[in-house]
Structure 1
Amino acid sequence: MAAHIRPEDRECPLSTAMSYVGEWWTMLILHDCFDGYTRFDQFEANIGLSSSMLTARLKTLVNSGVLVKQPYQERPVRYEYLLTDFGRSLRPILVTLAAWRNAQLAPGDRSMILVDAETGREIEPVVVDPVTGTPASDPRFVFTAGPAAGDQMLSRYGKDSAPGT
């Protein structure tokens, strides 16, 4: 049996990222958080996840620094779950995933869309290189070994693939 690898010990940023948000329940909890929900009973009602699974996922999100748990009531003690800065940084990922799925659907088949709250106009998020404005999906953008690459990344991408080598 393989030893458990902590997310921070993984070299690949994709595998590390998936360790935080890889379960679809996690994405639904985060979606609720971005919509302003903070309480266990709200998550439970919206998502339909069993209380034991929801408890486990919330604990994982708190332990990984995505959410912070704080009491909002003393007797009995009740907690709310709030996004941390780290958790809020996941919003563009959720927005992009939703847009990716919506792009596969006819406009009339979309059950949720992203709009400008001031104008009501539907928007289409795009990930771009901030220097050139070129979409990150352009095939000229490729992964390569970075400055902290270990043997696994160097083996995958080659020792001469790192920028500046």
Structure 2
Amino acid sequence: MQRKTLLDSECPIALSLERVGEWWSLLIMRDALQGLSRFDDFSRSLDISPNMLTRRLNALVDAGLLERRAYSVKPLRHEYVPTERGRDLKGVLFALIAWGNRHFSQDEVSVQVVDRATGRTLQPMMVDVVESRVVPWDECELVHGPGASQGMRERLGRMKKVQD
């Protein structure tokens, strides 16, 4: 059975999942954002089969999240370095860490996101960049953007009516 593609979707979540929705992809990006860059390092960290790792690395390069760079000519070896697009995924991973800690930690958390200067635990949030203020999640809503199709405008309109 062939997997459906989400590349034609206008939903940003669907478009993002098309690139990183496979769980190995997020784990590879986690490791790359923590400084791993070589095939053998990813393989050891993740205990992933070489074929799967090759497929996932190629997909992440094709999606523009990692850049492949040769670090050895004989034999030819590559390292994988996050691109700007890949580095921007850090916020998503930090949000997943906070969500996982809140809802799935067995006892005490094993990993947390902290402020380097203070060591205090941080939580994901939305910020109004014009006014530099935190906007609580329950005060946020989804609205159509300027590029939304009529179908998306109607869908978001229906969702808003259900919420009201």
Name the TM-score class by shorter chain. 0.7 to 0.9
> Residue in 2 aligned with 1:94?
93
Shift of 1:142: 1.6
Partner Cα distance (2:29, 2:108) in 1 = 23
> Residue in 1 aligned with 2:135?
135
Structure 2 CA distance for partners of 1:153 and 1:91, relative to 1, 3 Å: same
Q: Which runs of 5+ in 2 are unaligned?
A: none
Select between 107-116 and 19-28 the one with higher mean Cα deviation.
107-116
TM-score (norm 2): 0.83
Structure 2 CA distance for partners of 1:145 and 1:106, relative to 1, 3 Å: closer
Which AA in structure 2 matches 1:146?
A: G
Report 1:134-153 matches (<5 A): 134-138=134-138, 140-153=139-152
Report 1:24-39 matches (<5 A): 24-39=23-38
Partner Cα distance (1:76, 1:82) in 2 = 19
TM-score (norm 1): 0.83
Structure 2 CA distance for partners of 1:108 and 1:150, relative to 1, 3 Å: same
Shift of 1:87: 0.6
Q: Which runs of 5+ in 1 are unaligned?
A: none
Residues 15-37 of structure 1, C-alpha deviation per residue, up to 9 Å, x if partnerless?
A: 11111211111111011011100
What root-mean-square deviation, in Å, do the aligned CA atoms of Structure 1 and Structure 2 show?
Answer: 2.6
- Report which of the two has the higher share of helix: 2
Structure 2 CA distance for partners of 1:147 and 1:71, relative to 1, 3 Å: same
Aligned residue pair count: 158
